[in-house]
Every structure is written in C-alpha cells, then in structure tokens.
C-alpha cells in the first residue's frame, strides 16, 4: 500500500513537489549549465563541434567499455573522422539487450532505465546524472529558441501515476512547485473528464504545454468540437513520445492559438531532431551523428551515434525508426526532414478510460517488472484483453501478474479483465514483425 494513494490531494502536491526538488538537484547541476553554455557558444560552428565531440565520445567508449575496447581496437580517436564511422559494426537492439553489462562504461552511480518500446520488447539501459542533465540542457536550449525558458509556467501531460486508482474526485493533476509545473494524468483524459482538464488549464494559464501527442490532441479536439474559448495562449506546444500528424498539429494550433514544435529522441538516448523557428525539422548534430540508410523513395532508416549516452554508449545504433527527407542527404549540406516516421500508434479501448495508446502500455510494462522480456496485448472485445508475456523467471509468474495488473488498472480502470498467457516468443506477422498492440474491435 502506498501512503501517497491515501493522502489528501494537498499533501500529494507537496509529495510531488518534494520529488521534483530531488530530481532538480540531480538534473540541474553544473553539467546542465556547462552544456547549456556550450550549446549557445557553438551555435554557429556546429560541424566542428560535432567532430570534436565524436572523437571524445569514441575515445571514452574505447577506454571505458569492455565491449567497445574490442570493437574499436583498431580505431584512433584523435584522428577519427565522420567517414570512418561506417567501419564500425552497427549496434542492434538485441545486442544492446544481451551485451548491456559489457557495453556499460561504469557501475558507479548509474541510473537504470528501461523501455518497453512500441514493439513491446524489454530493453534495459544505464544512464547517469551526467547524461540526463546534458539531455535536459539540450531540451531547454531547444525550447529557448521558441521563447520558452526554464521556470515559466508549464503544463505537462504524461504517464506519471499521480492520480490514485481509488480517487473519486475529478482532480486529475498535481502541482510540482519546484519547476512551476502542473502535471496532468494522461490516463484519465477522456470523455467528460476533459472539461475538468480545460478548466484547470484556464486557471493555471501555462506558457508552454508538453507531453503525449495523442492526449494533447484529444484535448484540442474537445476544445474545437465543443467550441470552448480559452483564456490563455501558450508560447508553444512540445508534443512527445508519439508520432505527430499534420491533422494533429492543425487541431492543436487552432485550439491553443500557438505553434506546435515537434521533437524526436528516445528513452535510450538517441540524438535529437527538433523543429527550428520556421517549423522545419533539423537533425541536431551537436547531440550526435545521424546516418541515413535508404529504404524507399525519400524514406531512410536512422542509424545514430548519441553523445548523451556515455554510460551506455550508442555508436551506430539501429534505433528502429525512419525519416522522410526532402532531399538526398549526400547532396545537401544541411539535412531537412519532412516527416519522422515512428511506429504506428496502435491503441486499445477501455469503457472507463477511453483510448489507451501503445506508449501508455509500454510504460505499464516497463514499470511493472523487469522480468518481462516481451509482451503483446490483443483486444477482441471491450473490457477484455489478452496479454501474452515472455518472462525470464517463470517461477515468479504470480508476482509479475500482480504488478502488471495493478499498472494496467491505472490505465484501463477496474472493469477491464486481463487474461494472461505465457509463451516462449511473441508470434510474428506475415510481414515478419511482432506487433505489440492488436486491436480487433472494428474487425
């Protein structure tokens, strides 16, 4: 039993703010401010900055990672060039999963991260306060370009479990005073509940909004459909975690009266792709190196080398995503991206909570138990879901089920039934893919 769940909302706000203060000390440290200063100072000489960082990164990985000391044995970091990257083997997700202990550069003060991914396959990685603070510095640097600065009023709509499942009141948000941030639950943002979200947004008057793309879009659609007038207009909206379509962008910009500025990264720490002030997606080469492998037409698979991953170095990592470019990258100096092609945003449906996206589900799996290796959710009828699991410890099935069910009930409510089946592997489709979410309700 969590004490938080039974505390009054006022005390929950204090708890959220104290947690925020703890995270602030971890993230907004000297490394954060040094990185922010470096990014500002090198904004006019990004190519030189990128090459210097690449050499430092290669040297660090070679000297501190058992895996890379072998892979990079013949590499001289001090004279290394971008053209030499292709001589290094591509790092596959499966290699990252199985060789993580040999890949890591340290076992001191590491932060364990985990992503279920939209394929549902478990992936553990290590990061650190050093890596995290520099990533956050870049995100703040990106937001600065659009007029949003740290400390401004911020509304964040995401997957944090801030609203207890037993709560009856319609208060689906908590305040993080340390960042001047109103946290909204993504799990309750559906149906008539949206009136309460919009009322609180009007009351709080945020200067920026960030969070799950699909949830922000759902709020925007509700505003437009109900012809609701807002009493504020943010400087910008920063959607995350899910693919942003042009329809979503149009609805958000019309509903909130401000630009939507897209961004791309990953839980593992991929380099950033962000929109400039003109709304064009640009690879941020100060955060890593992007390689583009042609798939079809102007669509390219991404292979990335990520500078913010010193704890688990990602060098030539096959991230699993693709981009559509305006031009052949070998023929232009600055690559411009037309569209980020993420994996499809499949979803399931709950009678109590409405749409539950694959991002919500992957978060549930990640938070539930590290022994879940792969998972798949299939819905053939409302309020009943088949859950297939591949686990590493079959004698702990009851414990795994209990934890996962608790996490899923937060997202689906109490009326949904989960039928578990344990398998050796998730079956592939005829196209050779493993689907994380299968929604057969409309079939």
Determine the pLDDT at residue 345. Answer: 44
- Whole-angstrom CA distances from 363 to 118, 120, 133, 142 are 10, 10, 22, 25
| pLDDT at residue 435 tops 80 | no
Is the pLDDT higher at 54 or at 429? Answer: 54
Q: Which residues contact 395 (CB under 8 A, 6 or more apart)?
A: none
| pLDDT at residue 45 tops 70 | yes
User: What average pLDDT does range 387-415 have in this prediction?
Assistant: 92
CB 326 within 8 A of CB 334: no
As a whole number, the mean pLDDT across the chain is 90
| pLDDT at residue 297 tops 90 | no
| pLDDT at residue 366 tops 50 | yes
Q: Which of 126-135, 266-275, 421-430 has the highest mean pLDDT?
A: 126-135
User: What average pLDDT does range 302-323 have in this prediction?
Assistant: 94
Determine the pLDDT at residue 321. Answer: 82
> What token pair was written down for 30?
């000297």
Which domains are delineated in the chain?
Answer: 3-26+147-260 (3.40.50), 42-136+265-341 (3.40.50.12780), 347-439 (3.30.300.30)
CB 82 within 8 A of CB 51: yes
| pLDDT at residue 344 tops 50 | no
Residue with tokens 């749409």: 355
CB 275 within 8 A of CB 268: no
User: Which of the residue ranges 58-72, 109-123, 269-283, 288-302 would you say has the lowest mean pLDDT?
Assistant: 109-123
Calpha distance 4→162 (Å, rounded): 9
CB 89 within 8 A of CB 335: no
User: What average pLDDT does range 201-205 have in this prediction?
Assistant: 98
| pLDDT at residue 1 tops 50 | no
Determine the pLDDT at residue 121. Answer: 61
pLDDT band at 362, cuts 50/70/90? confident
Is the pLDDT higher at 427 or at 128? Answer: 128
Calpha distance 254→22 (Å, rounded): 37
Determine the pLDDT at residue 432. Answer: 43
User: What average pLDDT does range 51-67 have in this prediction?
Assistant: 98
Secondary structure of the chain as H, E, C letters: CCHHHHCCHHHHHHHHHHHHHHHHHHHCCHHHHHHHHHHHHCCCCHHHHHHHHHHHHHHHHHHHCHHHHHHCCCCCHHHCCHHHHHHCCCECHHHHHHCHHHHCCCCCCCEEEEECCCCCCCEEEEECHHHHHHHHHHHHHHHHCCCCCCCCCEEEEECCCCCCCCCCCCCCEEEEHHHCEEEEECCCCCCCHHHHHHHHHHHHCCCEEEEEHHHHHHHHHHHHHCCCCCCCCCCEEEEECCCCCHHHHHHHHHHHCCCECCEECCCCCCCCEEECCCCCEEECCCCEEEEEEEEECCEEEEEEEECCCCCCCEEEEEEEEEEEECCCHHHCCCCCEEEEECCCCCEEEECCCEEEEHHHHHHHHHHHCCCEEEEEEEEEECCEEEEEEEECCHHHHHHHHHHHHHHHHHHHCCCCEEEEEECCCCCCCCCCCCCCEEECCCC
**Digit-coded pLDDT (tens) for 119-172:** 556 688 899 999 999 999 999 999 999 999 999 999 999 888 899 988 989 999
| pLDDT at residue 443 tops 90 | no
| pLDDT at residue 343 tops 60 | no
For the four alpha carbons of 217, 218, 221 and 226, in that order, the dihedral sign comes to negative
């Amino acid at each position: 039993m969590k004490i938080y769940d039974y505390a009054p909302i006022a005390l929950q706000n204090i708890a959220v703010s104290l947690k925020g203060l703890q995270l602030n000390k971890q993230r907004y440290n000297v490394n954060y401010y040094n990185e922010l200063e470096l990014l500002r100072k090198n904004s006019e000489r990004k190519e030189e900055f990128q090459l210097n960082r690449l050499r430092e990164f290669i040297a660090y990985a070679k000297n501190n990672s058992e895996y890379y000391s072998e892979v990079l044995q013949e590499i001289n970091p001090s004279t290394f060039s971008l053209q030499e990257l292709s001589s290094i083997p591509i790092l596959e997700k499966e290699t990252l999963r199985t060789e993580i202990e040999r890949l890591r550069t340290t076992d001191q003060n590491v932060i364990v991260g985990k992503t279920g991914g939209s394929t549902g396959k478990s992936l553990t990685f290590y990061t650190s306060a050093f890596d995290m603070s520099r990533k956050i510095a870049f995100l703040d640097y990106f937001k600065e370009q659009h007029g949003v600065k740290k400390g401004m009023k911020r509304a964040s709509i995401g997957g944090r479990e801030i609203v207890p499942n037993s709560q009856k009141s319609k208060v689906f948000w908590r305040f993080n005073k340390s960042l001047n941030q109103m946290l909204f639950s993504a799990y309750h943002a559906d149906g008539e509940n949206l009136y309460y979200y919009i009322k609180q947004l009007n009351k709080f008057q945020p200067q920026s909004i960030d969070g799950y793309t699909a949830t922000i879009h759902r709020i925007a659609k509700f505003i437009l459909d109900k012809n609701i007038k807002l009493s504020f207009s943010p400087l910008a909206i920063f959607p995350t975690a899910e693919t942003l379509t042009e329809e979503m962008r149009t609805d958000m910009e019309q509903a909130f009266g401000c630009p939507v500025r897209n961004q791309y990264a990953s839980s593992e720490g991929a380099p950033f792709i962000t929109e400039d002030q003109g709304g064009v997606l640009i690879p941020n080469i100060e955060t890593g190196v992007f390689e583009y492998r042609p798939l079809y037409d102007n669509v390219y698979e991404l292979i990335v080398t990520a500078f913010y991953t010193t704890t688990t170095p990602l060098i030539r990592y096959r991230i699993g995503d693709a981009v559509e470019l305006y031009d052949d990258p070998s023929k232009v100096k600055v690559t411009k991206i037309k569209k980020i092609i993420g994996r499809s945003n499949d979803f399931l449906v709950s009678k109590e909570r409405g749409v539950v996206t694959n991002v919500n589900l992957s978060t549930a799996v990640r938070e539930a138990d590290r022994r879940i290796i792969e998972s798949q959710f299939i819905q053939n009828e409302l309020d009943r879901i088949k859950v297939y699991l591949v686990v590493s410890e079959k004698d702990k099935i009851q414990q795994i089920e209990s934890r996962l069910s608790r996490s899923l009930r937060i997202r689906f409510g109490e009326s949904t039934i989960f039928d578990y089946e344990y398998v050796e592997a998730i079956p592939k489709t005829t196209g050779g893919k493993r689907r994380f979410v299968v929604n057969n309700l409309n079939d």
